[in-house]
């Protein structure tokens, strides 16, 4: 398997969930919950309490050109929402 954690998902909703010790990551489509928990624990030195996953389907898009409408689609991806143990947190911006 390639890289399990691709990138953190930092949106307004996910920032609000971080107050409750929950963080979201875009993960490899083949990764399972155990692999995701181990990867987060190893990378951020935290204890993972639970992992929830969801397969997100890409939106269909259209582009208007001189030749007409060209249909397209965003890529599908897998999202994992990780809950950490009490009194633990991940700071994504500490090394900026």
CATH number at residue 19: 3.30.70.330
CA distance 27 to 6: 5
Residue 59 lies in a domain: yes
pLDDT tens string 63-79: 999 999 999 999 999 99
Residue 93 lies in a domain: no
Residue 56 lies in a domain: yes
Domain housing 67: 5-84
DSSP 76-93: PEEEEEEEEPTT----TT
Give me the number of domains the chain comprises. 1
pLDDT tens string 6-64: 999 999 999 999 888 999 999 999 999 999 999 999 999 999 999 999 999 999 999 99
Residue 96 lies in a domain: no
């Amino acid at each position: 398997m390639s890289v399990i954690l691709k990138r953190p998902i930092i949106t307004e909703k996910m920032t609000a969930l971080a107050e409750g010790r929950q963080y979201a990551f875009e993960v490899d489509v083949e990764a399972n919950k155990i692999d995701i928990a181990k990867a987060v624990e190893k990378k951020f030195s935290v204890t993972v309490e639970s992992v929830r996953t969801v397969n997100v389907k890409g939106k269909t898009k259209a582009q208007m050109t001189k030749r007409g409408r060209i249909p397209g689609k965003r890529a599908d991806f897998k999202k994992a929402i990780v809950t950490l143990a009490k009194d633990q947190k991940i700071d994504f911006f500490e090394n900026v």
